[in-house]
Amino acid sequence: MRKENSIRKKIIGIICGMIVFVSIALGLISYKAYYDAHIQFYYDKALGIVKLLASEVDGECIDYYVQTGDKDSEYIKMQEHFNNVKTNTSDLNYLYLFVPYEDYFIYVLDAYTEWDDMNRISGLGDRFNYTETEYTYLIPDIEAKSASTRIVKGDDVGFGDYIAVWAPVIDENGNVIAMVEADYCITDLQNNINNYMFKVILFLMAAIVIITIIMIKVMDISVIHPILQLTHYVKSYKSGEFEVSKLNMKDNNEIQLLADSFDDMIEKIKVYVEDIERVTAEKERIGAELSIATQIQADMLPCIFPPFPERTEIDLYASMTPAKEVGGDFYDFFLIDDNHLALVIADVSGKGVPAALFMVIAKTLLKNQLQLGTSPGEALAIVNNQLCENNEAEMFVTVWLGVYEISTGILTAANAGHEYPAIKRANGKYELYKDKHGIVLAAMEGVRYKEYEIKMEAGDELFVYTDGVAEATNIKQELYGTDRMIKALNHTEGENAQGLLERMKYEIDCFAGEAPQFDDITMLVFHVNEV
């Protein structure tokens, strides 16, 4: 019962809160709009008056009047004109012409009507001193020679709250000679607006209270009571039990629809549970198969090091870290005969299982050609044509391929769109070897690949890699790059082949940090030992 009352109280509370919020918002908006409309009316009215009067004043005579205090016929006409304007303008409290100075201003004339207290009217030459804060709002418009409006608070000038509007009197040289200002006292205006809006808001609140009571009663009958019925109905479903008689809401079709939907949901839950169990089993199966595929791929790559313990003239190590369970990168090395060592590193486009399958094909074809004694350039050309056949997926592979002649130390290599190798001479530093790139394999048939030779001496070292090294990314989206790679390689002086690659992988991991990597990282290092 306590929970049922809680639901009712929450719904009623929400309704009342929303109504109160909307009421306050509407009241404030209405007051602001009503107030702004009246203020703007006086702004526009006064601005038109002062601009017109400022244009009619003869600026050349102002200084004469101020200096001499002489009220000639033209001055009297100007005074009468200002008086008539004030008389014929309702609610206008002050209308005067003055010359502003740095710390004071001097009245030229102060308009008056027959109802004004003449003791409060300033005469020609009267000086009004003001403090640091008083009337400083005039200075920007004097300097800009522009008309403006604002509400002047009584605390600023000591005369109550006014709408002040002014316009400059400009002489023939474009100088500001004087200012015409009109003031409307807004204290009464504000009181009138407040009284009016109070009555309006009071009426709105009364209407809102009545409407709220009616809405709560209707909500109680049409919504809350049926919801409580439905709550009891839902409670009847015990854990694991889905067979309960349906709720019949004769007086509320929407709640009945909700009850029917609940029954449908129960049936669908049964189906979803079965689907989840089936999908979970399928994911486990796929995961197991991917694990096997990962192991198969790893087993396809040479993984026994040192690979040729009896060949002390060379040192060799390689590693491949896939971005997904299986990758598209691969490396290979094998003795073609006792005097020739094949070195291969490649990167298949794409990731995952398709790339891994394409990798197997490319690796097998390349190894077959090299074992037949085919030169690197010819091997790439033949395999390229073979991969182009039935390549509907339009995959491709970049390859660096080299054959090292052990007796002479000559490395014959060819590059099919792969990364530049890095070479270090004995007692030297690693540098990129910018070889001639051919087009990637499987892009188009009939491509020929150029070969080049490198003389490898004792102590020389070759480092080849895939783009996953240079394109490793950190959390700042910065690339590792070949410059960092070369710098890291040159910090591994004295390491054997395995130690060098392990150090490189550590440097890449430190750079990447927690950022996920989207490309396989494959590296191979070949070192010529002193015999």
400 has which bridge partners?
A: 345, 415
Q: What residue spans of 301-375 are helical by DSSP H?
A: 352-371
Tokens 């709560």 sit on residue: 216
User: What homologous superfamily is domain 2-190 in, according to CATH?
Assistant: PAS domain (3.30.450.20)
End-to-end CA distance of the chain: 94
Cα–Cα distances (Å) from 306 to 220, 244, 314, 526, in that order, read: 83, 72, 10, 11
| Same fold for the pair 2-190 and 301-528 | no
pLDDT tens series, the chain, 531 aa:
445 556 667 777 777 777 777 777 777 787 778 778 878 887 888 888 888 888 888 888 888 888 888 889 899 999 999 999 988 887 788 898 988 887 788 899 989 988 888 888 888 888 887 665 556 667 677 776 677 777 776 554 455 677 888 888 888 888 888 889 888 877 766 777 777 777 777 877 787 778 878 877 777 776 666 676 666 666 665 555 555 555 565 555 666 677 677 667 767 766 776 777 787 777 766 555 556 655 666 667 888 888 998 998 999 999 988 877 667 789 999 999 999 999 999 999 877 778 888 888 999 999 999 999 999 999 999 999 999 998 888 899 999 999 999 999 999 999 999 999 999 999 899 999 999 889 999 999 999 999 999 999 999 999 999 999 999 999 999 999 999 999 999 988 778 999 999 999 999 999 999 888 788 899 999 999 987
Q: Are 247 and 229 in contact (CB under 8 A)?
A: yes
Lookup result for tokens 């026994």: 304
Q: Residue ranges of the domains in the chain? A: 2-190, 236-293, 301-528
pLDDT score recorded for residue 501? 93
Query: What pTM did the predictor assign?
Result: 0.50
CATH class of 301-528: alpha beta
Q: 345 by DSSP, 3-state: which?
A: strand
Q: Which residues fall within 8 angstroms of residue 380, CB to CB, at 6 or more apart? A: 399, 401, 414, 416, 438, 441, 449
List the alpha helices (DSSP H) in 99-186: 139-144, 154-157
